[in-house]
Amino acid sequence: MGGDKSEVLQGTLDLMVLKTLESMGRLHGYGIARRIEQVSGDGLSLNQGTIYPALLRLEQRGWINSEWGTSETNRRAKFYSLSRIGHKKIEEETENWERIAATMARFLAPSN
Amino acid sequence: MELIRILFSRCAALFRRRRLDEDLDEELRAHIDLAFEENLRRGMSEQEARTEALRVFGGVTQTKEAYRMQRGFPSVETLVQDVRYALRQLLRNPGFTMTVILTLALSVGANTAIFSIVNALMLKSLPYAHPERMGTIFMRIQGPEPADERHDIDGRQWELLRDNAPSLISAVSAGLSSGVNLQADEKVEYVHAGRVSAHYFDVLGIHLAAGRPFSEVEDRPHGPKTVVLSYRLWHSVFGGDRELMGQTIRLKSEPYTVIGVMPEGATTPMNADVYTALQPSREGEGRGTNFDAITRLRDGASWQEADAEINRAWGSLSADFAKRNAGSKLSYYSVPLQKGQTAGLRPKALTLMIAAGIILLIACANLAGLALVRILRRTPEIATRMALGASHWQIQKQLWVENLVLALMGGLAGVGVGFLALRGLLLLLPDNFLPVASVNLDGRVLAFTLVVSLLTSVLFGMLPALATRKVDLRSSMAMRAGTGGDRLRLRQALIAGEVALTVVLLAASGLLIRTLIHLETLPAGFNPNGVMTAKASLDDARFRDQAAFLKLLDESTTAMRQIPGVQNAAVGLTLPYERTLNDAVTLNDGPNAGLQTGTDEVYVTPGYFGTLQIPLLQGRDFTGADGPNTQPVAVVNRTFANKFFHGANPLGHTLNKGTVIVGVVGDVQLSSGLNPVAPLMSEETMYIPAAQVNPKLIPLAHIWFQPSWIVRTAAPVEGLTAQMQRALASADPGLPFSGFYSMSDLLAKTLVTQRIEVALLSAMAGLALLLSTVGIFALVANLVAQRTREIGIRIALGSSIRQAMIHVGGTGVRASAIGLIAGLVLCVGVLRVMRSVLYGVHVYDAPTLLAVVLALVAVTLLAASIPVLRIARIDPAKTLREE
């Protein structure tokens, strides 16, 4: 794996999943993984498998729901979608993340 | 809220593991399939598409593992795995497992049973409201002859206490429980009566189920005759009739008004069938210290205040005492009722608890030895697991889990054994022996058992667990299983330790056995064989009159002599082995003229000495001619004669102004009430004819004692007891016997404490010996198994089989010998504390110690030689080929 790719930071994956589900609607695990790869381009090294513990974590918190359904290629797969709580939490988490990102940016900016 | 949801979801996952695993498999398969299909669409070959899909996914197994960690509680799941693995390991070694569980079951069981009793006696609250506010009064004497004991009080002290201790609700009861005759529906029954003062039920905090307790008016001398029934009697005799309140029933042949019924299940320290008012005063029994006091602290008062009040109230007594005993100081203090009631049993219970603890230590030593051997045998397995990546912590955890599983299984078996042992023990105890209503395996006992089991597991598991820390991967892998001779010293030390403790237990129980034998084989002073005895209550209105009393004795004994096969019959207030009435006596002349002292006193009918075959040493027996209006006479025993007449002839001397000593009889063994220094002894006794008992003393003596009818037969007579009851009925149809006892029954009753001590301590010593034997056996057997090759080589090199046997067996014998010596040294220090319970045997009793040494030598040789016999079957050629 290339040295210039970022590892996924703990916690950021959850928000990526939530944002993906917000923009794309109901989606299966593979779809979510592909979407995250597409959005982040080559800047991120993601083992697709790592999204499954994240999905479970979010589901345990009640932010997303899951159900079995059929894929576009007629394959039985598990589909995820945002729950009511999840919709509310996205705002909170987004603000939270922006605050951290802004803080980090100030630290990293050349001191002048 | 979120936390709860997460917890719930994780917990739910624990129970749906299989289904969730299948779901996950399916989901991940779908993922790979979807990726595969997309790759195909992008133009990859099938092979490339699959490889790429898996590469991008990044490790299916790792994903599953991470997913499972997130899903349930991983520590719980690995614990379950560890427990399963432990169970498999234990099942693979059924011999080891069974030995451990049996050892634990016996040792934990012994501890459970003994602790149940300690719990019931000392820890469990008394079954009364606010038991911590209930007390009894002790007296403490400081000075040259110190004393500290429960204090019985007399009528004057009672009045002072009642009127001058406002911090307390006080009550008294009669010290001796008595038997009375209850007439109901033409039938007369002998029931146990408790005599209690007003407020007795208030002190106990008992609210009667019906009616009311005794009032102060009813508790005054000659007050109205009233009775409170126990719930059991109210039901069994009166059918639970509520109309009974205020009605009269016939008790002691007099009308008594029923005023109350005890609540169901309630008990008192007396545990009687009926309660009557004590009516205490300074007269009659109140002249002596015949009352037991109990107290309850009133709300807002403290024990310090109460004690100050008691000492003020009884200040004149302490002052008198100080005057009579220069340099001594007498004071009183309150003791919690439970502690006061069990004061006598406490040291015994603690001794047994210590013995049970020793059993546990011995068991631990055995188990540690076994576990050590087992762990050494498993070294290669452990080394393999470590080589495969198991951490040190994982190995340790696995060992501890195995220990815990064993401890819990053993503990469970121990509870079963303890339950059975307790049941057996309670069957052994006579009724009302323990001052508690019931002994159960309650929560506290079970918690104790759990702690003991876990403690055992820690103790016996520690050694092997420590041993694994030194496991060296390379050498262990290369080594064949089961050498590790360097642990032999440790195992021998364990065996020596347990043998030493066993020696102490054996010696202690040996001394108690010798004491019991001594007491049971004391020269009785009479012929106990062929005597049947029966008691009846004469605390009855019909027999308070002297003439009626004498008529009953005369007619009933005459009728009993008519029974075919009966040689003689008589009546006495008390019998040998029993506690006697104590009375004051004044010597009018002789070497101790003017001396006023105490003596045992027994009234007897003519023929008492003949029936019991107590030898008449001097003078004459009583005859029918010694009547109420003739010269008062007395017969004294040899101790009385020696003590007060120093070998001079006591005949013709007078006692109590006018009673002439007409005879001297031999001593008999009895249970002293005068100056008890041993459970059975002879002390000064004065016999008087029943016909000459002071008429005023007749009712009083019969409140305390139920006289005994005795008959002697040459050979067993069929239906003797029924014929005795008929003979009594011919003299008085309404008088029941309370029961029939042989003299050996009476002896057993007197020595019941000693018998129980012997039974329990011997059982524990036997258990200790068994465990030690198993320990020695296991040590040697294990060595034989471990060293089969070495022995084979030795034999091949010319050593004889006998030498090989001695070489291996010697390790067990040496360990046992060292333990024996250490145990004997321990005995020197420890056995001294037993001095107070030994009679007729010295603390360092040579026969006892010799028996202990012989027993240990015998079992050691047995345990060491059985396993070495296997050496004879070792074929050197075969063992060498195996190499």
B486 pLDDT exceeds 60? no
Find where tokens 């100056």 sit.
B675
Cα-to-chain-centroid distance, residue A13: 4
Asked whether residue A3 is assigned to any structural domain, the reply reads no
Identify whether the C-beta of residue A36 lies closer than 8 Å to the C-beta of residue A12.
no
Note the helical H segments in B314-345.
Answer: 315-324, 337-341
Of A28, A53, A76, the CB nearest to B66: A53
Segments forming the whole domain that contains residue A95: 12-108
pLDDT of residue A53: 86
Q: What is the pLDDT of residues B55-72, one digit of tens each?
A: 888 878 878 877 877 777
Distance from CA of A79 to the nearest CA of B (A): 10
Asked whether residue A6 is assigned to any structural domain, the reply reads no
Asked whether residue A64 is assigned to any structural domain, the reply reads yes
Looking at residues B350-355, what average pLDDT do you find?
87
Burial (Cβ within 10 Å: 0-12, 13-18, ≥19) of residue A108 = exposed
Distance from CA of B63 to the nearest CA of A (A): 6
Q: What is the pLDDT of residues B595-642, one digit of tens each?
A: 888 899 999 999 999 999 999 999 999 999 999 999 999 999 999 999
**Of A56, A73, A89, which to mutate for an interface test with B (greatest number of B Cβ within 10 Å)?**
A56
Of B6, B26, B67, the CB nearest to A53: B67
Burial (Cβ within 10 Å: 0-12, 13-18, ≥19) of residue B255 = exposed
B461 pLDDT exceeds 80? no
Q: What is the pLDDT of residues B790-834, one digit of tens each?
A: 888 888 888 788 888 888 888 889 999 999 999 999 998 888 888
* Nearest residue in A to B71, CA atom: A56
B457 pLDDT exceeds 70? yes
Q: Tell me the angle at which helices A29-40 and B17-41 cross, rounded to the nearest 10 degrees.
A: 50
Q: Which residues of B touch A78 (CB under 8 A)?
A: 23, 26-27, 30
Kindly report the CATH number assigned to the domain that includes residue A66.
Answer: 1.10.10.10
Distance CA A73, CA A56 (A): 24
Which token pair is B479?
Answer: 């080594």
Distance from CA of B21 to the nearest CA of A (A): 13
Q: Which residues of A touch B35 (CB under 8 A)?
A: 30, 48
Instruction: Enumerate the β-bridge partners of residue B12.
Output: none
Instruction: Tell if the CB–CB gap between A30 and B6 is shorter than 8 Å.
Output: no
DSSP-derived 3-state class of residue B416: helix
Distance CA A19, CA A26 (A): 12
Burial (Cβ within 10 Å: 0-12, 13-18, ≥19) of residue B301 = middle
H/E segment holding residue B566: strand B566-572
* Nearest residue in B to A34, CA atom: B35
Instruction: Enumerate the β-bridge partners of residue B168.
Output: B297
Distance CA B363, CA B100 (A): 9
Asked whether residue A82 is assigned to any structural domain, the reply reads yes
pLDDT of residue A112: 47
Instruction: Tell if the CB–CB gap between B30 and A56 is shorter than 8 Å.
Output: no
pLDDT of residue B751: 87
Distance CA B173, CA B200 (A): 8
Identify whether the C-beta of residue B640 lies closer than 8 Å to the C-beta of residue B651.
no
Of B34, B57, B70, the CB nearest to A53: B70
DSSP-derived 3-state class of residue B869: helix
Instruction: Tell if the CB–CB gap between B30 and A30 is shorter than 8 Å.
Output: yes
Distance CA B530, CA B525 (A): 15
Distance CA A97, CA A93 (A): 6
Identify whether the C-beta of residue B563 lies closer than 8 Å to the C-beta of residue B691.
no
| Number of compact structural domains in chain A | 1
Q: Which residues of B touch A71 (CB under 8 A)?
A: 30, 34
Q: What is the pLDDT of residues B702-740, one digit of tens each?
A: 988 999 999 999 888 889 999 999 999 999 988 999 889
Instruction: Tell if the CB–CB gap between A29 and B31 is shorter than 8 Å.
Output: yes
Find where tokens 């974590």 sit.
A57
Looking at residues B409-431, what average pLDDT do you find?
85
Q: Which residues contact B640 (CB under 8 A, 6 or more apart)?
A: B599, B650, B664, B684, B685, B686
Q: What is the pLDDT of residues B741-752, one digit of tens each?
A: 999 889 988 888
CB neighbours of residue B546 within 10 Å: 17
Asked whether residue A7 is assigned to any structural domain, the reply reads no
Identify whether the C-beta of residue B142 lies closer than 8 Å to the C-beta of residue B273.
no
Which token pair is B63?
Answer: 């994903």
* Nearest residue in A to B33, CA atom: A75
pLDDT of residue B467: 64
Distance CA B259, CA A108 (A): 95
B96 pLDDT exceeds 80? yes
* Nearest residue in B to A75, CA atom: B30
Find where tokens 């001297």 sit.
B664
Closest to B179 measured CA to CA, from B734, B710, B724, B703: B703
Distance CA B599, CA B673 (A): 10
pLDDT of residue B481: 43
Distance CA B433, CA B552 (A): 33
Lowest mean pLDDT among B117-131, B281-295, B507-521: B117-131
- Triad A25, A28, A31: Cα angle to 5°: 85
**Of A8, A17, A30, A83, which to mutate for an interface test with B (greatest number of B Cβ within 10 Å)?**
A30
Residues of B with CB under 8 A from a CB of A: 2, 5-6, 9-10, 23-24, 26-28, 30-31, 33-35, 37-38, 56-60, 62-63, 66-67, 69-71
* Nearest residue in B to A55, CA atom: B67
Asked whether residue A1 is assigned to any structural domain, the reply reads no
- Triad A32, A36, A37: Cα angle to 5°: 115
Lowest mean pLDDT among A45-54, B270-279, B351-360: A45-54
pLDDT of residue B469: 62
Q: Which residues contact B412 (CB under 8 A, 6 or more apart)?
A: none
Q: What is the pLDDT of residues A17-46, one digit of tens each?
A: 998 998 888 999 899 988 888 888 767 777
Of B28, B30, B59, the CB nearest to A47: B59
Asked whether residue A92 is assigned to any structural domain, the reply reads yes
Looking at residues A38-66, what average pLDDT do you find?
84
Identify whether the C-beta of residue B354 lies closer than 8 Å to the C-beta of residue B446.
no
Instruction: Tell if the CB–CB gap between A62 and B67 is shorter than 8 Å.
Output: no
Which token pair is B382?
Answer: 């452990």
Closest to B93 measured CA to CA, from B412, B416, B482: B482
Instruction: Tell if the CB–CB gap between B31 and A61 is shorter than 8 Å.
Output: no
pTM recorded for the entire structure: 0.74
Size of interface A-B (CB pairs under 8 A): 78
Q: Which residues contact B797 (CB under 8 A, 6 or more apart)?
A: none
Distance CA B681, CA B691 (A): 28
pLDDT of residue B876: 73
Distance CA B161, CA B311 (A): 9
Distance CA B379, CA B399 (A): 12
Q: What is the pLDDT of residues B283-302, one digit of tens each?
A: 888 888 889 999 999 998 99
Which token pair is B295?
Answer: 């107290």
